[in-house]
Amino acid sequence: MEDERVELNDLYREILMDHFRHPRNHKILNGDAMKVFDTNPLCGDELTLSVRVKDGRIEDVAQVARGCSISQASASMMTDLVKGKSKEEALKIAEAVKALLTQGEPQPEDLIGDAISLEGVHKFPVRVKCALLAWMTLLQALKGGK
């Protein structure tokens, strides 16, 4: 697999591969859910994110990610983490993961959960955008939405 070049530690690799093989919330929400489509042209990753926010809380969130394993795993982790959270909490999580990915700033595991496994990605600039796609799309959806 192409991502073998990314040297993540074994535990983190396992978490990542588990999300890749068993993607969480892999669907498109219908009805009044907000839908955002975004891509990472550098790698060819695509993501359709659907979010339903009710009373300031993420009632439901789903993803259909296509592309490399890192982008798909990251989208799965993202939905898993923010589902049921308030919009503010979700924004905080997304900003924390963004700082981890783009600056390598360590983040507490109790805040970012399985996304801690993306820790090593910032050392591989070419993969940062793969991992970042899900989180940037979420920020776009939450900031643009009600």
Query: Which of 5-13, 60-68, 73-81, 108-116 is the region at the interface with Zn ion (rule: CB under 5 A)?
Result: 60-68
Query: Which of 12-20, 43-51, 52-60, 115-123 is the region at the interface with Zn ion (rule: CB under 5 A)?
Result: 43-51
Sign of torsion, CA 6 72 46 107?
negative
Residue in 103, 77, 101 with CA at minimum distance from that of residue 90: 77
Q: Which is nearer to Zn ion, 6 or 130 (CB)?
A: 130
Give the C-alpha separation, 77 to 5, whole Å: 21
DSSP class of 106: -
Work out whether 72 is an interface residue with Zn ion (CB under 5 A).
no
Smallest gap from Cβ 66 to Zn ion, in A, equals 10
**Which residues contact Zn ion (rule: CB under 5 A)?**
43, 45, 67-68, 71, 130
